[in-house]
Amino acid sequence: MKRLRFSRSLRLRKSADFRRVQQGGRRVVTGELVVVYQPRPDAGPRFGLAVSRKVGNAVVRNRVKRWLRESIRVERGALSEVDVVFIARKGAAVSGLAELRLQVRGALDRIRRALRQKRT
């Protein structure tokens, strides 16, 4: 069960890292998420969450962040050497955990395919 933790080493924590990924990264758009990723050659994957006030009040934003963290823990699989920022859109609050999990899975699959094509 420990491998499913969303530990510090898996998180983007500095605003400079968020800016770097959002300005120079590639975008994947799903229904309620915009996912921006940028390869980095030095280490494993890191994930960041951005949930603005447009999504809802503090209670709603925190719920969406919990849903996203849970989805990332379950769906991250064998993703490597990439920074990923998940940006929640307005409708994420009403989507629910199951729908967000499907969207996270789809976005991560698209990122994996793109990274695999780039290597070959």
Tens-digit pLDDT profile for residues 22-33: 999 999 999 999
Total number of domains constituting the chain: 1
Mean pLDDT of the chain: 90
Q: What is the pLDDT of residue 4?
A: 58
Question: What are the pLDDT digits (tens) for 17-64?
Answer: 999 999 999 999 999 999 999 998 777 899 999 999 999 999 999 999
Residue 60 Cα distances to 17, 38, 85, 102, angstroms: 25, 28, 19, 20
Query: Domain of 79: which CATH number?
Result: 3.30.230.10
Ranges of H-type helices in the chain: 15-24, 58-75, 92-95, 97-119
Closest residue by Cα to residue 35 from 45, 52, 21, 16: 21
* CA gap 44, 41 in Å, rounded: 8
User: Residue 108 pLDDT more than 50?
Assistant: yes
Inform me whether the pLDDT recorded for 89 exceeds 90. yes
Domain hosting 106: range is: 2-119
